[in-house]
Structures are given as C-alpha cells and as structure tokens.
Amino acid sequence: MPVIALADGDLNYRLDGPADAPVLVLSNSLGTDLHMWDAQIPLWSQHLRVLRYDTRGHGGSLVTNGPYSIEQLGRDVLALTDALNIQAFSFCGLSMGGLIGQWLAINAPQRIQRLVLCNTAAKIGSPEVWNPRIDTVLRDGQAAMQALRDASIARWFTPEFAAAEPARVEPVVGMLAATSPQGYAANCAAVRDGDFREQVAAITAPTLIVCGTADAVTTPEHGRFLQECIRGAELVEFHAAHLSNVEAGERFGRRVLDFLRA
C-alpha cells in the first residue's frame, strides 16, 4: 500500500473510488486498522473517493514513542490530506476515530464538510480503566495483546453475532492481536486524555452520530450527549455492540452514505 512520509515516519493509506468524487476519510478504532472498513468499501467507493489510513501505532503505519494525543493523531490526518492535496473532506471515525473526528471538526472546521461519529463519546472511559491496560500491555507485550483480542469479542460484538458470524469476527479481532503493543499503549493514552465535553458544541459541520444499542463502551447515552451538544446533529442506533459498521454491515453503510450524499 502507498505511504505518506511524516516527519517521524510513514503513514500507511489506501484510496478507493473515482478520482473526481467527493473525498471521505475513514479513521479506525483502537486496535484495528484500515481493513475494519472493508465491508463498506464496495458501496461507498461507487460514489465517493474513500481515503483509509492506519492510525499511528496501528497496521502498517509508524510506531513512535508514546504517549500520543488526539491532537497529534488529528494533525496526522491533516498532514495526510495535505500531502494528497485534499483541502476539504468528509470524515467518518469510529470510537478513537470519532475522537479524532471531533478534534478535527473543532480545530480545523474549514476542512470538514460532513462528520460521522460512530460508537464514540466526547470522553471515553477513565484513567482507572486505561492506566492498568497501558501498564499490562507495556509489561506483557504480545501476550497481553492476545488476551485483549480474546476479551474484545464480547466488547466489540453482541453474543449472537459473535456466535453466528465467526468469519466476520475473526479477521477484526485478529487486527488487535497483530497491533504493536507499544503503539496500542500509546493510543490508549490518547483516548484516556481526550476530552471534548466542553468543546463539542463548537462543531458546525453537519453531523451524524451512530450508536450501537448493545454498546457498553460508548453507550447510546454518550451518543445522545453528542447530539444534544452539536447543533442539528442526526442520530441513528443499530442493534450492535461497539463495532456497528461490522455488525450492522449493509444497513450501516447505506445510512451513512445517505447522510454523506444529502
């Protein structure tokens, strides 16, 4: 896959769709990579120029010393789009990717045409959740990533989906097992420290918020808080846990596409 050279390493990305179509940037969740969006690409790339990338610390992108910050990850997106001469774009991010989307819409509003915030919150979790995870991953390395992979099935998917669709679940949780422990821990710190509760009301881009009814990580209540704060925001709930784009599949893809093309 192609890469963009940042000041401290390479950012891995992929472009799909017509070169003259409006651009949609996709941002992965913590512990996945750009392939988490594979199910959406056939539909979206018919209508959009879809730019996916591996967030710093994930997939084929650079792994630098942590901790990272959401601002740092947002600036990576701006550097990527600048390098590709993309001045304005829509942005769809899930979980950690949704935090990056909030930072971009608050701090670079002239760049964001439409915003989709999936399974995310203005603040995700607390230091009491994140710090032990960071410590464990830095101490135990790949063994900790394997343990997280096993635990993630219950967080990321409803039990019935996990049981019925192992062929769709296994590749996604496999991304977590393959993630760099150093990169994962550095991104955990970025999520831990990201807090936009006092700033999200400044978002002016047309916004769609996507929730999973069974998401225990970023609950529908978190989504409703975002909707209340962001003027004119739309909200949709799917029967899904944390990775609604995987579990809701085609329904997710069509609803997001309808919003982006409105």
Confidence of residue 1 (pLDDT cuts 50, 70, 90): confident
Residue ranges per domain, the chain? 3-260
Confidence of residue 189 (pLDDT cuts 50, 70, 90): very high
249 exposed, middle or buried (CB, 10 Å; 0-12, 13-18, 19+)?
middle
Q: According to the model, what pLDDT value does residue 63 have?
A: 98
Q: pLDDT tens, 31-76?
A: 999 999 999 999 999 999 999 999 999 999 999 999 999 999 999 9
Q: Which two tokens stand for residue 219?
A: 């609950």
Edge-to-edge strand order for the sheet containing 23-27? Answer: 3-6, 9-16, 49-53, 23-27, 89-94, 112-118, 207-212, 234-238
Q: Which CATH superfamily is domain 3-260 in?
A: Alpha/Beta hydrolase fold, catalytic domain (3.40.50.1820)
